[in-house]
Amino acid sequence: MRIFTRFLSLGAAAFAVLLASCETAKVSPGGPYHVTAYKPTDPSKVRVEVSLSKQNVYVMEGDRSLMAVACSVGIPSKPTPRGSFTIYRKEEDKRSGSYGFRVQGDRVVPAEAGSNVPGRYVGYPMGFWCEFAPAYGFHQGFVHPTPRTHGCIR
């Protein structure tokens, strides 16, 4: 019995030492995000390029970079369209017509617009929407280091 008690005490002590060395990862609280941007000399020559592989947006005037910034792009099953596009619609306070949630009294339930989930549909906010293809656009939102959108660029 005495050996068992010592063994149990030693095991508990070893477990406590190992547990004390465990630490949860610290999550950055975020903060200001500053991007250097330069004013164009000829606004008619400004274009925007997106690298889907690097997840970067480049605002260019000829060969001169006016701004470069990280972005989120579409997941493999819902990729961001490739090609040359022109922004044809802008909306400052747009909400998604497809992705959002349902309000059920005091409850909020994630749901797509066409789902059978009861409640009033509210689309996710997509501020400063700039549409470049039907249902695809640049818009405000959190930037993730991996593809995360349904095809839009944020």
Does residue 7 surpass a pLDDT of 50?
Answer: no
- Looking at residue 28, what is its pLDDT? 57
Mean pLDDT of 96-101: 94
129-133 and 89-91 beta bridge pairing:
antiparallel
Please state whether 65 falls in left (phi above 0), alpha (psi between -120 and 50) or beta: beta
Mean pLDDT of 112-127: 94
Q: How far is it, in rounded angstroms, from Cα 26 to Cα 128?
A: 32
Q: Which of 84, 86, 85, 117 is nearest to 102 (CA)?
A: 117
Mean pLDDT of 116-143: 96
- Looking at residue 13, what is its pLDDT? 47
Q: Which of 124, 56, 129 is nearest to 92 (CA)?
A: 129
- Looking at residue 33, what is its pLDDT? 72
pTM, to two decimals: 0.73
